[in-house]
A and B are shown apart, each in its own frame.
Chain A
Amino acid sequence: MMMHLTTNVRWALAGVAGVLVFATLMVWLIALTHPNKDYSELKLRMRSWWVMIGIFAGAMLLSPLASVVFFAFVSFLALKEYLSLIPTRRADRRVLFWAYLAIPVHYYWVATAWYGMFIIFIPVYMFLLLPLRMVIIGETEGFLRAMGSLHWGLMTTVFSLSHMAFLLVLPADKNPAGAGAGLMLYLVFLTQFNDVAQYTWGKLFGKHKVIPKVSPKKTWEGLVGGNLTTLLLAILIAPYLTPFSLTEAAGAGVIIGVFGFIGDVTISALKRDLGVKDSGSLLPGHGGILDRIDSLTYTAPLFFHYVYFLHY
């Protein structure tokens, strides 16, 4: 166990654990010094972080395959949450079933590192198959909406997110510092960190709204402050986990910061359209799983192709 991870990645995981312990202590301290304020939501959120990071790190330590299975499961939860949230047609039950079946097949291509198939399976084959299956059922009312919303969901929750998993199976020799796991950890950590950093900067200094119609709590101060913090951190940790030069690391930091925000507000727009506040209730204190991985739906594919273009 663990020997498949480079020393740096193991240290990075220890670092994540350290951040988690530190944050938990901070929450306790704040709650203790402000006894008349209610911090139960924040405590719930910390608890969910422990569970999420625990499972994520456990899968990483176990084996690369365990991590791929973990990401497949995340995709399953995200697709299920999406399909439970949006209007679907009763006639399409079996089409949705096929969409679910795409998850194990798609992650099989990931596990076997078959890049050519991985990159076209959902955008080409599932894209063509699902409407075909709908046509066989023959319900034309609402066909366009059903077809479009199903494919967007599959692209977002399965195809996009699976790029995190494909980082794991990239050839290790191109990145001696961290191998595939190092890149994946770099991406996931920075994306999640960026969310927290934007939130914190926004809470402290937020004034001017970026996109009030979609997400009234997002401010320029939060966005810029968060992105700069992420950029700085991206440069600082790149030598330990990635093959990036200084400029490349800065580029990665910008991609993760800016597009993390875009992914976030895209899911916000979806929720606003459907009239819900949270995408679900799977993660107490956070909301649903889409609320947690919204940023990754953008950063995962974009970061992946950035790395792939530069180094593989």
Chain B
Amino acid sequence: MKALLRWLFFVVIVRPLALIVIGLNVRHRERLPKSGPALIVANHNSHLDTLVLISLFPLRQLPQIRPVAAVDYFLRNRVLAWFALNVIGIVPLQREVKASAGDPLAAASATLEEGAILILFPEGSRGEPERLSRFKSGVAHLAKRHAEVPVVPIFLHGLGKALPKGEAILVPFFCDVFVGEGLYWNGDKQGWMTDLDDAMHVLATEGKFSPWE
């Protein structure tokens, strides 16, 4: 029942929204993982990011695709929590790391072990629209634990213009989705994070974007 609801939500609302109202320019679509487990990391500017990333995959893969999302935001009230967990299918993540709370990445790890395609926004929040901010290192911990899982960087542009943080009205813009090559853990946290940052910046320079201030 919940699976059907999720399927309907993506078929009736998300896909038409992503493909007709917004419109995506996807480059290197062939680099998307054909099956899980895989970790998708992207820059984060808008609530639309998650929906667009999920809609990049064929519908039959939908049950596999799970975005990681912040507990403090998405589970803050019951209605939103129900929607986030059942319809969007989030894997909850505690942003505030407390020593007593145990392993913050346990749920994400377990989902990867089930063979999911996990979506993660290492910037940690949507931040200022259309600005890349530093990736937090949680993603490196995850990559280290799952050294056999490819980490696929995806650069998103335009969704922060269409629906930035704090805005309720969606304004249509064509948006760019540049998919990078999968990276694997290389044994060195600092070096790996630099590789990931570099991969994102290379993807970002593929586009020619007019200023938006």
User: Are the CB atoms of A93 and B167 closer together than 8 Å?
Assistant: yes
Chain A, residues 70-96, CB within 8 Å of chain B (1/0): the string is 000000110011011111111001101
CB-CB < 8 A to A19: which residues of B? Answer: none
Tell me, yes or no, whether A274 is within 8 Å of chain B by CB: yes
Chain B, residues 10-22, CB within 8 Å of chain A (1/0): the string is 0000000000000
Give the number of A-B contacts (CB < 8 Å). Answer: 49
**Which interface residue of B171, B175, B210 has the most chain A CB atoms within 10 A?**
B171
Complex CA distance for A282 and B158, rounded to whole angstroms? 16
User: Are the CB atoms of B212 and A281 closer together than 8 Å?
Assistant: no
Chain B, residues 202-213, CB within 8 Å of chain A (1/0): the string is 000000101111
CB-CB < 8 A to B171: which residues of A? Answer: 93-94, 96-97, 100
CB-CB < 8 A to A282: which residues of B? Answer: 23, 174
Chain A, residues 134-151, CB within 8 Å of chain B (1/0): the string is 000000000000000000
List residues of A (25-79) whose CB comes within 8 Å of B's CBs. 76-77
Tell me, yes or no, whether B135 is within 8 Å of chain A by CB: no
Tell me, yes or no, whether B169 is within 8 Å of chain A by CB: yes
Partner pick for B173 among A84, A89, A90, CB 8 A cutoff: A84
**Chain B contact patch, size range:** 10 to 19
When C-beta atoms are compared, the residue in chain A nearest to B172 turns out to be A80
**Chain A contact patch, size range:** 20 to 34
List residues of B (105-125) whose CB comes within 8 Å of A's CBs. none
Complex CA distance for A307 and B94, rounded to whole angstroms? 67
Do most interface residues of chain B lie in helix, strand or loop, or is the interface mixed?
loop
User: Are the CB atoms of B212 and A87 closer together than 8 Å?
Assistant: yes
Tell me, yes or no, whether B129 is within 8 Å of chain A by CB: yes
Tell me, yes or no, whether B25 is within 8 Å of chain A by CB: yes
Complex CA distance for A77 and B172, rounded to whole angstroms? 10
- 10 extra A-B contacts, CB within 8 A, seeds A90-B161, A90-B164: A80-B173, A80-B174, A81-B174, A87-B210, A87-B211, A90-B212, A93-B167, A97-B171, A275-B208, A276-B208
User: What are some 21 contacts across the A-B interface (CB < 8 A)?
Assistant: A76-B172, A77-B23, A81-B174, A83-B173, A84-B158, A84-B173, A85-B210, A87-B210, A87-B211, A88-B161, A90-B129, A90-B212, A90-B213, A93-B167, A93-B169, A94-B171, A96-B171, A97-B171, A100-B172, A274-B208, A275-B208
| CB-based closest 3 A-B pairs | A87-B210, A84-B174, A84-B173
Complex CA distance for A77 and B22, rounded to whole angstroms? 10
When C-beta atoms are compared, the residue in chain A nearest to B170 turns out to be A97
Partner pick for A80 among B23, B129, B167, CB 8 A cutoff: B23
